[in-house]
Amino acid sequence: MAERRSGRRVGRPSTPVLNRDRIAEAALAIVTDRGLPKLTMKALADSLGVTVAALYNHIASKADLLLLVQDAVMSRVDAAALGRLAADSAGMTAADRGVASDNLAAALTDWARSYRRVFAGYPDLVPLIATLPVSGAPATRRMYEVVAAGLVAVGIPQPHIVPVIVAFESFLFGSAMDAHAPATIFSSGPDESDAPVFSAAVDAFTARADTPSPVVSDDVLNPYADPPFEWGLAALVARTVSLLG
């Protein structure tokens, strides 16, 4: 029979072992339920049932925590289709370029839709993550590496890789925020007649977009957000594919 030492209990701990993954998930839960301003070290420690000092055994600072949160969100973005482009590129010849352009368009579309869907679930984090560095965020860097490798594999010139990624992200961050805009954001009041052309355009758009697109998910609360997203995405994808020459 195993002997107990110093009154210590034998077997598994009653609560899960604290680690960076568990801390990140708890931090995301606080942001989702209470908003980013409520993400404090004290609130995080309380939600995990530990002391603040225990958190500092795993994270160096609040800035380190924010990088951890960034990585947790970015790890949810699915870039697998772009990864397959890189994996399938061995032996590609000039004759394969037509097929490559079709595959690139599909892969970029899959990645962009996943990216927007993930960030639509965490709108409070968009302004933060849009400006956080990638240094110290390994999952974020891996995602960028997969995207860059896929683009290079099909023939996108190296000098265009970063501009393509930044252009997509600029669009996707805005689209993720727009997913939470009220459907009446462009509506005019009864006494406002100073923008008749724009008001007519809004009426024409809402009449045309009254059936939400299949891309709408539980995270997209604005029923009119998806048609403009798909329109803009198609334009970005087409411009990127045109770089293949």
Could you give the dihedral angle defined by the CA atoms of residues 108, 109, 115 and 119, in that order, rounded to the nearest 10 degrees? Answer: 150
For residue 128, give the CATH number of its domain.
Answer: 1.10.357.10
Q: Is the pLDDT of residue 205 over 60?
A: yes
Report, as an integer, the average pLDDT of 137-141: 91
User: What domain count does the chain have?
Assistant: 2
For residue 41, give the CATH number of its domain.
Answer: 1.10.10.60
Residues 199 and 139 in one domain: yes
Cα dist from 110 to 77, 114, 141, 189, 192, whole Å: 10, 6, 19, 39, 41
Q: Which pLDDT tens digit goes with each residue over 50-79?
A: 999 999 999 998 889 999 999 999 999 999
Q: Is the pLDDT of residue 81 over 70?
A: yes
- For residue 116, being part of any structural domain is answered with yes
Q: Is the pLDDT of residue 102 over 70?
A: yes
- For residue 9, being part of any structural domain is answered with no
Range with the lowest mean pLDDT among 79-83, 112-116, 185-189? 185-189
* Per-residue confidence (pLDDT) for residue 157, from 0 to 100: 93
d(CA 30, CA 23): 11
- For residue 189, being part of any structural domain is answered with yes
- For residue 39, being part of any structural domain is answered with yes
- For residue 167, being part of any structural domain is answered with yes
Which amino acid, one-letter code, is at 217? Answer: S
Place of tokens 């896929």: 150
Report, as an integer, the average pLDDT of 7-19: 61
Q: What is the 3-state secondary structure (H, E, C) of the chain?
A: CCCCCCCCCCCCCCCCCCCHHHHHHHHHHHHHHHCHHHCCHHHHHHHHCCCHHHHCCCCCCHHHHHHHHHHHHHCCCCCHHHHHHHHCCCCCCHHHHHHHHHHHHHHHHHHHHHHHHHHHCCHHHHHHHCCCCCCCCHHHHHHHHHHHHHHHHHCCCHHHHHHHHHHHHHHHHHHHHHCCCCCCCCCCCCCCCCCHHHHHHHHHHHHHCCCCCCCCCCCCCCCCCHHHHHHHHHHHHHHHHHCCC
* Per-residue confidence (pLDDT) for residue 159, from 0 to 100: 96
Which pLDDT band, with edges at 50, 70 and 90, does 6 fall under? very low
Q: Provide the whole-model pTM.
A: 0.81
Q: Which pLDDT tens digit goes with each residue over 16-28?
A: 689 998 999 999 9
Is-contact 61 40, C-beta < 8 A?
no
Which pLDDT band, with edges at 50, 70 and 90, does 180 fall under? confident
Average pLDDT, the chain: 84
Which pLDDT band, with edges at 50, 70 and 90, does 4 fall under? very low
Place of tokens 């949810």: 76
Q: Is the pLDDT of residue 8 over 60?
A: no
Residues 37 and 118 in one domain: no
Domain containing residue 101: 80-242
* Per-residue confidence (pLDDT) for residue 91, from 0 to 100: 61
Q: Is the pLDDT of residue 149 over 90?
A: yes
